[in-house]
Amino acid sequence: MSVPTSTTEEPLSLLVQKWLEWDRNPETRAEIEQLQKAGATAELELRLRQRIQFGTAGLRGRMAAGFSCMNSLTVIQASQGLAKYIRDKHSDIAPNGVVIGHDARHNSAKFAALAANAFIAMGIPVWYYSKPTLTPSVPFGVTHVRAAAGVMITASHVCLLTIRAVTRAKRSDTDDLVDRTQPKTTVTKCSAHASLIQMDDADWWTRYFKNGAQINTPMDVEIAQSIDNNLEPWPNAWDSLEATAYLHAEALQTILPRYTEAVWNYAKSTVPSWSSPRPFMYTPLHGVGGLIFPELCRSVGITDFAAVTEQVEPNPDFPTVAFPNPEENGSLDLAMQSADKEGKTLIIANDPDADRFAAAEKVDGSWFTFTGNHLGVLLASHLFDSLEGRNDKSRIAVLNSAVSTGMLEKMARSKGFHFEETLTGFKWMGNIARRLEESGYHVPFAFEEALGYMFPDVCHDKDGVTAAMVFLAAEARWRSQGLTPYSKLQQLFKDFGYFETLNNYFRSPSPEITKSLFGAIRNGPYRTQKSLGSFKILRWRDMTEGYDSGTEDQKPALPIDKSSQMLTIWLDRDVRFTIRGSGTEPKVKVYIESCSASHAQAVDAVCDTFRTVLKEWIRPFAPSMSYSKNLPTSSGHILNID
C-alpha cells in the first residue's frame, strides 16, 4: 500500500526556484539548470510537479534530479520527516537512536551520511555503519542495540527506516543497551537504491518500525505527512558527517560479529549435529555478501568452497551481469562456468545487498536453477524436520505470500502447523509474524517466491545470508540420507503433488493502459459466467475492490488496497493464478500454479492458463503490452508463444 504521490499546483517557475534554492548537490543542480535553460518544460514538469511517492515500503524512484526522483535532496527530505516523526510521536524511544547502514553501490554511502545528519539534528543518536554492509545486518542491529529505528541505504531496494515496536522500558543509556541486549529478531532499514531494470537509475528509501518489521498502514500516512512538513533542508543538512556525541561511528564493528554469530547459531540449531556441506561455488553478484559470507563460512570450518573471482568484490557497475538480480536468466552463468572449471556441482548466491538467496545444482550434466518457491519448500521441509517431536505443533506458524506456492500450506497442515497467507512483501510477513508471536505462536519461517526468506529467530525481514547457511545445513543432512537438494525436491513433489509454476510479466506502456486492462477484466462476463476460455472459474478474489467469492461474506480475509491492481482466480485443473500491477515497474505480473499427481499434467495446465490469459485478456484489452515469446516454467519446460 502506498500514499498518493504529493502534487503541487505551484507555478513551474516556483518549483524550479525551490529546487535551485534547496539543492546543494552540484550535479543535480546542474541537471535542473540545464533543463531550465533548454526550455524543457515537459521534462521539468515530470521531475518537479510531483514528489516521490512514499508508502509502506518507503520511497522508490529514478535516480536523477527532481522532487519526483531519488537524489540527495529527496533523501534529506525523507530522513527529516522520519526523524521529526520519531522525535514528536515516539519521544520515549528516540534516545535509543537509529541504526544506519549502506551497501557498496553508487551514492549509497553519501545518502547514508545525509540521512544520519537529519537524525543527529533532532538529537537522535545514530549507530552508523561506516563501511558497506548487508541489509539484514541493519534490522538485526536495531534489535541488538534496541534502537528506535533503522535505515539501510541500498541500490537494490528502497531506503527503509523502521522503528521497533517492541514494548520496553524507556532507556537513555544506549551504551548499556549494547551490553545487555541479546541478538534476537527485530529489523529496520532505509534503502536508497538503483533499479534492477536500469542500473543506478532508480533509488529506494525504505523504513521499518520498532517491531523490526517494515512499516505498514496507517503509519505510512503519518510519516508521509511529516515528510511534507519538513521539505526545506534544515541547517547543516548538507554538511559532511562529523564526529559528535550522537554519532556511534564504529557500530558495525560491534554489531556485525553478533549478527554472524546469530546466523551460525541458528543454522546449527536446525540439525542434530553439524556436518560440512558438499563443495560449492559462491557468488555475491558484485555485492556486499562477498564481504561477509565467505569469511563466515571459513570461521565455522566450511572451507571446501570457492567464490567467483570476478564477482566476489563489491562493484557498483556490475560489469559481468546484465542485471544483478539472481531471479534473472543468465545472472548465474559466470558462477556455473566457474563451478564447471573447479568441478563443483552446487552454487550458492546472494543478491547485491545479500537479503535474497539463490541456488543451482548440477543434475545429470546440466545446471538446474531452483526457483524461489523450490527453495522455500526445501527450507521449510528442513525446518519442519527440526521441529519433529514438538508437542505444541498447533502453535507453530509459517507464512508465505499470495503469489507464492500453495505447497507450503499443504506441507504445514500435514504437520499440524498453523499457516497464514499474506499480501506480497515482507512488510506484511514481518508484521504478521510479530502479531502471531505476541499471540503465543512460534514462527520459524516465512518466504516469498522472489527469493526472499525470513527467519524471525534472526530478524523479521528477508535474510539471504541466514538462508544460505540454513540451506548448507540442510544439504549436509540430505546428503547423509542419500539425497541432494534436487532429489529432495522431487521427493517432496511425490509426497504432496507436483506444483508447477509459470511466473512472468507483460510490459505495460503506461499506468493508464494497466488500469484499463483491469477495468476491462472486471467489466467482462468472467466473474458472473464463471468461465475463462475453456477453464471453469471456481473462485474469484479481487484485492482492489474487496471481493472474494470464496468467503461467507464475500470479502477477502487479506487487507484490500484500492490503490493497486490485483486479482487471484482459482480454476479447474487445480490452477490458481494471480495477475497484478507492479508497484515499482511498468509491468503487469502473472503468477500461475497448478498441482497435479502428474508432472506433465501440471506443466500443461500452467501453459494452457498463460495462453488463455493472453488470448482472452491481454490481446483484446491491452494489445500494446509486450511479453516474452519463450516462457520457462519452474521445472525448465519452455512455453513457446507464436
Catalytic residue ranges: 156
Euclidean distance between CA atoms 79 and 119, whole angstroms: 7
Q: How far is 116 from 128, CA to CA, in rounded Å?
A: 8
Angle (CA) 229 235 240, round 5°: 120
Q: Please, which residues bridge with residue 67 across strands?
A: none
Environment class of 238 (CB within 10 Å of its CB; exposed 0-12, middle 13-18, buried 19+): middle
**E strand or H helix at 531:** strand 531-532
User: Could you give the 3-state DSSP secondary structure of residue 466?
Assistant: helix
Q: What is the 3-state secondary structure (H, E, C) of 353-387?
A: CCCCEEEEEEECCEEEECCHHHHHHHHHHHHHHHC
How many C-beta atoms lie closer than 10 Å to residue 439's C-beta? Answer: 9
List residues bridging with 31 in a β-sheet. none
Complete DSSP assignment for 322-361: SS--TTSTTTTHHHHHHHHHHT--EEEEE-TTSS-EEEEE
Contact 599, 592 (CB under 8 A): no
Contact (CB, 8 A) for 544 and 578: no
Give SS3 for 292.
helix
Calculate the alpha carbon distances from 82 to 18, 87, 167, 209, 218 in Å. 21, 9, 20, 11, 14
Contact between 43 and 35 (Cβ < 8 Å): yes
Q: How far is CA 448 from CA 56, 242, 381, 445, in A?
A: 17, 40, 15, 11
Cell of residue 260, nine digits: 554472524
- The rounded distance, in Å, linking the Cα atoms of 445 and 266 is 12
CA distances from 629 to 224, 571, 582 (A): 41, 24, 20
The amino acid at residue 289 is: G
Q: Are strands 566-571 and 126-128 parallel, antiparallel or unpaired?
A: unpaired
Question: Half-sphere exposure of residue 343, counting CA atoms within 13 Å on the CB side?
Answer: 1
Q: What is the DSSP string of 550-575?
A: TSTTS--SSPP-TTS-EEEEEETTTE
Contact 602, 565 (CB under 8 A): no
**What contacts 267, CB < 8 A, 6 or more positions away?**
466, 469, 470, 472, 473
SS3 of 575-631: the string is EEEEEEECCCCCEEEEEEEEEECCHHHHHHHHHHHHHHHHHHHHHHHCCCCECCCEE
287-320 per-residue burial string, b: 16 or more CB within 10 A, e: under 16 = bbbbbbbbebbeebebeebbbbebbbebbbebeb
Residue 399 grid coordinates: 507464512
